[in-house]
Amino acid sequence: MKITVYAVGKLKRGVETELCDRYIERINGQGRGQAIGPVSIVELNESQAQQTSARKDEEAVALIARIAPGAHVIALDEGGKASSSIDFSRKIKSIRDDGISELAFVIGGPDGHGATLKTTAHHTLAFGPMTLPHGLARVLLLEQVYRAITILEGHPYHRA
């Protein structure tokens, strides 16, 4: 099952990018045994609209247009449901076992997701009630995907 991270905004070279690259490499290597991966990142430009609601709506439309038909969509949103790493791994396994060919994680712009994207998503995921910088949210997401793979393999990386 392919994993694509769709993100509004572009990461500059730096620590977050290096960590993302490291976890993508780990997922692409270790994930083969679990039929998870490869991972790709699709970055979209932030909307330049003046009003917040217009920016969120434009970004939502742009994101939806890029997501592959039939993909299972999980929106990262501070209002979403928090999950344990074990439950997250079970969710990924369930999606994979349902024969879904692509799992799409969506990270909105600085203003969050537009209503259209939230209704398109199969569900929303939060890393907690705090707002995170987008680069850090990407790192956390990719680390948790890698952790999910290691949980599914029974690897000692995750000690429950």
pLDDT digits (tens, 9 = 90+) for 40-70: 999 999 999 999 999 999 999 999 999 999 9
- Cβ proximity of 135 and 11 under 8 Å: yes
Instruction: Give 27 or 160, the one with higher predicted confidence.
Output: 27
H helix intervals, 74-133: 85-97, 115-120
pLDDT digits (tens, 9 = 90+) for 141-154: 999 999 999 999 98
**For residue 44, what are the β-bridge partners?**
8
SS3 content of the chain, % helix, strand, coil (to 5): 45, 20, 30
How high is the pLDDT of residue 13?
A: 87
Task: Say which CATH class 2-153 falls into.
Answer: alpha beta
Res 158: pLDDT: 58
Q: Are 136 and 17 in contact (CB under 8 A)?
A: no
Q: Which residues pair with 39 in a beta bridge?
A: 3
pLDDT class for 129, splitting at 50, 70, 90? Answer: confident
Please name the amino acid found at residue 111: D
Q: How much is the mean pLDDT over the chain?
A: 93
CB atoms within 10 A of CB 44: 19
HSE, CB side, 13 Å, CA atoms: give it for residue 23: 24
Residues 6+ apart with CB under 8 A from 147: 85, 88, 89, 157, 158
Confidence of residue 130 (pLDDT cuts 50, 70, 90): confident
Beta-bridged to residue 75, according to DSSP, are 106, 124
Give the strand pairing for 2-8 and 102-107.
parallel
Which pLDDT score is estimated for 159?
Answer: 59
Average pLDDT over residues 62-89: 94
Domain regions of the chain by residue span:
2-153
- Upstream peptide bond of 38 is cis (omega within 30 degrees of 0): yes
157 pLDDT band, cuts 50/70/90, is: low
pLDDT at 92 over 90: yes
User: How large is the average pLDDT for residues 4-18?
Assistant: 93
pLDDT band per the 50, 70, 90 thresholds, residue 128 = confident
